Structure formats: C-alpha cells, structure tokens
Amino acid sequence: MKQTRRDFVRTLFVASQGIVASRFLPGRLFAETGPAPSAALNFLVFGDWGRQGEPDQAQVAEQMGKVAHDMDAKFVISVGDNFYDNGVASTQDKHWRKSFEEVYTAPSLQVPWYVTLGNHDYRGDCDSQIAYSRLSRRWNMPARYFWLSKKIDASTTADFFFLDTNPMIREYREKDKEGTREKILAQDVPKQLAWFRESLAVSEAQWKIVVGHHPIYSGGDHGDSPELIESILPLLEQYKVQVYFNGHDHDLQHLVAGNVNLIDSGAGSRVRPTKETPHTRFALSSSGFTAVSLQADQMDIRMVDNNGKTVYSTAIPRIPVVVVKDE
C-alpha cells in the first residue's frame, strides 16, 4: 500500500520524537477509533493551574467537574503551566498527587487530559511530564509537540495540533532569569515549525485547532508574543486554522486576528489584570475555564468562572479548509 504524505508526516514525527510506548503508536496517538459521536464533541480547556489545591484552584476544579458532567465532556485540554512554581522533578513528585490527582477528582474529569508545556513547567523536568503519560490513565503528553485527531460525526473530523511555544520566545533564549535557558536552547525550533507547517498542509480535517501556552495577541499581563505573531499566526491564517487556545496570561479572553479566534483560558488558579485591545471581543480578570461544544459546522464557546457563572459565550462558524495535494 502506498504511503500518503499525511501518514509519512505522522510516522516521521513519532520516530523523531522517540516515542516508544505502545499506547502512543501512530494509530492511537493521532486517530480516535470507534463510532463517531452522534451530536457534538464536548471538552474543557484551561491552564495555569497546579498550586497544590489552593482555594482558587479547588474552586475552578469543582466547577469544571459540574460542567463536564452536564455537557458529557469527552476530554480536557491543559494549555500549560501545569505545576507552580517549578514544574515537577520526577514522576514521583508530590505535585502529581497534591496538584492533580487529589484536586480534579470529579468522575466527569476522569477522562483523557491532553497537555502542553508552559514556562513554569520548564523550570522542572519536562520529560517527567511526558513519562507520566505511561503511568496515568488520563494524562496524555506523548511528546513536547504532537497531533491528535477526533471524530465529530461520520463525515467531520477535528485535528488538534499541540505546540511547545516556550523555545520560540526570544526572551527565554537570550536570558536565564527563570533558570531555563539551557533547556530552552536544547530544543530545535526550526524542526518543530517544519513539522507544524507540514502537518497543517496534509491535514484534511474540517476543523483545525492549535494549542499552545503563550498568547499570540493578548490584553493580559504578559501581552502579545511578537515571535508567535511572526512565525505561528501566518501559518494559522494560511491553513485556515479556526481557533488557537492558549494560557500564560491568567485571565479569560477572546480575541480575533483575521479569521483566527484566539481563546485565552489561563485562569485555572490565580488571576491577573487584563484589558481590551484592538483584537479583543471579551476580556475578564477572573478564575475559570472554557467549555467547548464542537459540532460539524459550529464551535460553541462558553467561559465559566470559579463560581460556576457563565461570563461569556459565543459561536464560531466553521470556515473552509485548505487541502494541499501532492503534485
């Protein structure tokens, strides 16, 4: 059987990342098997959370459990900064129990968690977060960047591209104020960007969704990321990516750049001030998370605060995708 470009990209990525665990072979990592969902693909998105069960984290976790139950969420996406302040030291670090296992205890949250890395995670051992995937039934971080496919219905697929944006940030490469410069410089940014471009090009999914820790545009404390505006946003626009989820700024925001919706959901625990920008549709300094209901032709977004109140909702229509054929 002839190997397609899409299969080649996936196989090349798995080989280059050194994924050896059987649960992360290409068929398991990139494609959801079984019957397609009958109505919508429902999931939660949040980030910047792991503070050993502090009150604000616990409040958000409680509301996540309620919303996940009500909407029958199929998975949770974490946009990074999973463990404060210094990541985890190993797969046996107490953070796993105090910040994750003993906080997100609701039955509705015992679903797959798909996780990306934040800058605070780089202060610890990122490889331990990858390795924990082999010990946990719900923690899924097969590599620092990866591609995941989910079925919405019999004829509609969503492709999720999880990025490691940390080594893309110039300040982290030039300064060592967080003690992470050596780890950052060890990452091959051109290789990741090449993989990302090629993966977007071969994706035939009706929905393309990208997840990263750092914002592209933001009215939050950290603000815009010029490096991502330069290197990531043009690819999102070129390949008709509809949504980019991020954290880093500790708030809830919806911004729009061209046809790309930017959803900041970094309010999993402590929050910081935010403001409106020319790209802003919504901004609120509040702990909370984002609930997503993805249908064939529309994505419904609902932002929920730590008291369970829906503070913002919007509908994002599907836009046509670009399919790049082999010449």
What are 302's two structure tokens? 């609902």
Strand 75-78 to 113-115 pairing: parallel
Work out the pLDDT band at 28, boundaries 50, 70, 90. very low
In a domain, 256, yes or no: yes
Domain holding 307, by residue range, is: 19-317
In a domain, 8, yes or no: no
Q: What is the reported pTM?
A: 0.89
Report pLDDT for 83: 98
- Mapped onto helix, strand or coil, the DSSP state of residue 65 is helix
Per residue in 254-275, pLDDT (tens digit) is: 999 999 999 999 999 999 999 9
Residue at 218: amino acid letter: S
- Across residues 67-79, what is the average pLDDT? 98
Work out the pLDDT band at 101, boundaries 50, 70, 90. very high
* CA–CA distance, 311 with 215 (Å, rounded to integer): 21
Report pLDDT for 192: 98
- Residue among 294, 296, 309 at smallest CA distance from 72: 294
Give me the number of domains the chain comprises: 1
Told to judge if 69 belongs to the known catalytic residues of this protein, a careful annotator would answer no
85, pLDDT greater than 80: yes
Per residue in 172-195, pLDDT (tens digit) is: 999 997 899 999 999 999 999 999
Report pLDDT for 6: 54
| Least confident segment among 40-44, 46-50, 92-96, 176-180 | 176-180
To the nearest whole number, what is the mean pLDDT of the chain?
A: 89
Query: CA dihedral defined by 141, 236, 158, 282, rounded to 10 degrees?
Result: 90
Contact predicate 287/305, CB 8 Å:
yes
In a domain, 2, yes or no: no
Report pLDDT for 177: 78
- Across residues 132-145, what is the average pLDDT? 98
In a domain, 6, yes or no: no
Report pLDDT for 319: 80
* CA–CA distance, 199 with 239 (Å, rounded to integer): 10
Work out the pLDDT band at 48, boundaries 50, 70, 90. very high
* CA–CA distance, 215 with 222 (Å, rounded to integer): 9
Report pLDDT for 67: 98
- Across residues 221-245, what is the average pLDDT? 97
How far apart, in Å, are the Cα atoms of 322 and each of 110, 160, 203, 235, 258?
A: 35, 16, 9, 12, 16
- 200: part of which helix (H) or strand (E)? helix 189-202
Q: Half-sphere exposure of residue 116, counting CA atoms within 13 Å on the CB side?
A: 31
- State the catalytic residue, choosing from 69, 95, 222, 250: 222
In a domain, 60, yes or no: yes
Q: How is the chain split among helix, strand and coil, in percent rounded to 5?
A: 30, 25, 45
Contact predicate 57/81, CB 8 Å:
no
Report pLDDT for 321: 55
Report pLDDT for 97: 98
In a domain, 5, yes or no: no
What are 194's two structure tokens? 């090449």
- Mapped onto helix, strand or coil, the DSSP state of residue 199 is helix
- Across residues 223-242, what is the average pLDDT? 98
- Across residues 80-107, what is the average pLDDT? 98
Report pLDDT for 323: 52
CATH number, domain with residue 196: 3.60.21.10
Per residue in 2-22, pLDDT (tens digit) is: 445 555 444 344 433 433 332
In a domain, 131, yes or no: yes
In a domain, 10, yes or no: no
